[in-house]
Amino acid sequence: MFKTLLVASVLTGAALAAPPASGAAANVVVAKDGSGNYTAVQAGINAVSAGGTISVKPGTYREVITVPSGKTGITLRGTTGKAADVVIDYDNASGTKKPDGSTYGTSGSATATIAANGFTATALTFRNSFDRNAHPEIKDTQAVAVKTTGDRMVFDNVTFLGHQDTLYADTAAVGTVGRQYYRTCSISGDVDFIFGRATAVFDRAAITALDRGSSTNNGFLTAASTRRSNPYGFLIVGSRVLSSAANASFYLGRPWHPGGDVDAIAQVLIRETSLPAAIKQAPWTDMSGFSWKDARFTEYRNTGPGAGTGADRPQLPAAQAGNYTAQRYLAGSDGWNPVH
């Protein structure tokens, strides 16, 4: 699977409808009905100062948004507390053509690109609604809902909806650590739909593996590209994987080596998580000529009909379990601990 590293920022006409305020505000309200300061989410992001809050009233906001690295410490929140009430949605795919005839690429397809450190999102939905069946002319169907490259990021009660490449949990640069905490979030997709280089913890998540109609291979939950020097990649803990797909038709993951990078050695631990019958009994697989056995794939005390042990299911030794908790993944050198 080809994934371009091109990062493209695209703003829709809706996002540009309200220009940035001349003086940055501490807090702004976005509402489609005109009852707030702005009617588009990007306009609210443009207007708020670092450390500020954008409160978004219910509605579907059809736009592409970008939170630049300079907007540190901002919060994007839905006002009702229900993620389904506020939806930020667009439908670009990697192979979608731009006006100039070029294509967006995987990174450029993102509905939301979030580069700022200290970013928090709560009670809203990010969706990439690209429909591969409606666009048979598009062969590169990666369609990202969110790409993240920041550090100390928190997503609380946030829903991520897509198919291939839903959540691109990345970092700002090769060799840069980006810690991201996804608490009580919902994530849906099929092919490699949680992927990237970040140190990302998915705590008490609901992860839905969508049915592509295959009896043998409906997709892959993860495609991590963790740096060799980083002991912590993806941790899925205390979560539920859900699927209506055929039994033994989903992989837990495969190792992504962007551009053939031999130092991208995926690290994924799935622990104390319920797995459905759709998960294969040999749940890890190779990718682009790289063996899954060279990656750092482990499980620990999983349950459900898709759980299992054996030579093809490496288990984290109990003596090491204390070194692979959410707190250990996220602590870094500054002791960051958003876990509660």
- CA-closest candidate to residue 159, choices 182, 138, 190: 182
**322/319 Cα distance (integer angstroms):** 7
The helix/strand/coil state of 31 is coil
**86/126 Cα distance (integer angstroms):** 9
**27/37 Cα distance (integer angstroms):** 10
Distances in Å between the Cα of 42 and the Cα atoms of 54, 127, 266, 296 are: 10, 15, 33, 38
Structure tokens at 207: 């992860």
Structure tokens at 60: 């579907």
**140/143 Cα distance (integer angstroms):** 9
Catalytic residues, by residue number, are: 192
**142/92 Cα distance (integer angstroms):** 9
**303/116 Cα distance (integer angstroms):** 36
Distances in Å between the Cα of 93 and the Cα atoms of 17, 105, 115, 219 are: 24, 7, 20, 18
**173/60 Cα distance (integer angstroms):** 32
Strands (DSSP E) found in 186-316? 186-189, 191-196, 199-203, 206-209, 219-224, 234-237, 240-242, 250-253, 267-271, 296-300
- CA-closest candidate to residue 225, choices 288, 310, 156: 288
Distance of CA 108 to the CA centre of its chain: 14
Distance of CA 20 to the CA centre of its chain: 28
